[in-house]
Structure 1
Amino acid sequence: MNTRKMMLFIITAVLVVVLAACGNKNTAEPAKEASAEPTNTSAASGSEELTIKHKLGETKVKKNPQKVVVFDFGILDTLDKLGVQVTGVPQANIPPYLSKYADKDAYSNVGSLKEPDFEKINALSPDLIIISGRQSDAYEELSKIAPTVYLGLDTTRYMESFKENMNTVGQIFGKEDEIKTELDHVDKTIAEIHDKAAASGKNALIALANEGKLSAYGAGSRFGLIHDVLGFTPVDANIEASTHGQSVTSEYVAEKNPDYLFVVDRGAAVAGEGGESVSAKQTVENDLIKNTKAFKEGHIVYLDPNYWYLSGGGLLSVQEMVKEVGASIQ
């Protein structure tokens, strides 16, 4: 009898051990699956790579880059509008409305618009460099430092090029919805002003004043959205389209006798808040030009060079440029 009880005890003990072992094996597998989840999440959200096609080539860029160097003030005002942080900018001649980027403690100075500081940029180890026309010659050298994307404006197709650049910015920084909202707002403002300009039946001449000299700009030029987008008829359809404009005299302006004369003061843009704007006025408002319809009707319009010369092509600058022209129509 005692022997039988002993055998039952041993058998029972063995069964308990076996069942416990089976239970441990079953609970181990879910633990293994749980440890795999963070790895998958990290891989999915870590670094999506985009291929950005632009005028100077194709560039692979990680989405939402953290350290960004920007050489174009229009793109800078766009990123500012979208709340995207930047690391480095060229701090000379920053437009007043972007003056916070002149803070040397908050942002690194990466050279000038035409002369990037390659050593300083390299030290920053940026994730992305954005350039435009003034830095196009430095593209290859900058590309050796970090992914570099050209977002210059093609003025022969101003709005199309502007929107393409904005959509590229939206794609890189995950701001597609915000970009769409802003572009819809710009389109609405343009439509209203275009109708207003067309209804006026007025023609216009655009001039850049610089050191006592005048250059004329027509359709398809860097300031050509006044004609191409906003609907003012060019007073001269044969103006040579070039970066620096067509050199003209006061006699030329008097002969063409525009209804509106839009003036961009380069001196004021590059000199900051100096007295250069007075020089532009003296250049333009001489005895010859005072005989034009533009002067007699109060339609000589001095455009803000901070938008028109330094930072065109941005969400903020384009909106302000369009509004400025609209406000001049009487």
Structure 2
Amino acid sequence: MTYRIYVCGSNGNFQLGLDDNEDRHQLECAQFQFELGRTVDLDIRPVKVACGGNHTLVLLENGQVYGAGSSRYGQLGCFQESLPIFQKLNLPFKVKDVVAGWNYTVFISAYDEVYTCGQGFTGELGLGKIHLQSLPAKIELPYNGRIIKAGSSLHNVVLQFENGELYGFGNNKKGQLLDGPKVLWTPTRLAICAREFALARDFAVFSCDGKLLLQGKDQYGIAERLQTVGKIDRIWAMWSSVHLLSSRQLISFGNNSHGQLAPVTTIGTPAKIAIGSEHGLLAEKFKVFAWGWGEHGNCGRHQKEKSGVRFDYMNEIYTEQHVVEDVFAGCATTWVVVRCRENA
């Protein structure tokens, strides 16, 4: 199999892996550096794209990680100032998951060890009051179970263990993780267990015992709206809105200043959804649609008689012969992973 990653959106510090730093308003193939040269074709399936403020990490199925963009603060775990195209990171462990925040990265190893690197002034490294870590450093976990999910926002992280317990670290100024100190310098057990959770900029949403709970700053009256929703399958959060999947219904609450709330309700199957900082993606087998705030080209070019950066409709950004494997969304960046079909 051959795979490619199509990208568009904000390209500060080369984070799209295109060998320049110009924003893209239509999809192009990210470039990868291998021993035999650079290519857009991958023989190993990409399983995740983790996006920071100006850096990006691609996790492959074999546990290898490739990075592009800024590493000014060590957020790519290397000493180069930046990587203009995706290069393999020299990590001493196999990775099963990776998440990123504004200037930091969190790696989950195949043995459920957690490593962090980059810059963090509010505990997002989980290393105590260390603010800068140029190479991945292992953090001490108070619980040694299997990690089944990791989530991150600009300045905080939550780890979910197989027993349902949640541990968080980083910014807690709005009480988005727990009632307590404004900064969690090391992994701290949260007061609730949750089946699903999502982290926004100033709040977090948890699914606990069939109920949806919002913790933190509720500027848009989301908490009350959450009580009107029944059983949910998935939760996502932009910086200022919440998106729920419930029995194939996509439900959105929160800030809609730039069309962030989903303009459709019924989702077909199979379909994939990705939620970024202030935009969303909906993928079908051969098509991808974007909606929300498209300031940097992350929602493509308007396909309707419209202009500006508000995409309050499903804007088609990909329709080709290759099969869409997955979609990912970051800080005004869009990522479409495709499986190439022969003779297509």
TM-score (normalizing by structure 2): 0.27
More strand by share: 2
Task: Between the two structures, name the one with larger relative contact order (CA 8 Å, sep ≥ 6).
Answer: 1
Larger radius of gyration: 1
More helix by share: 1
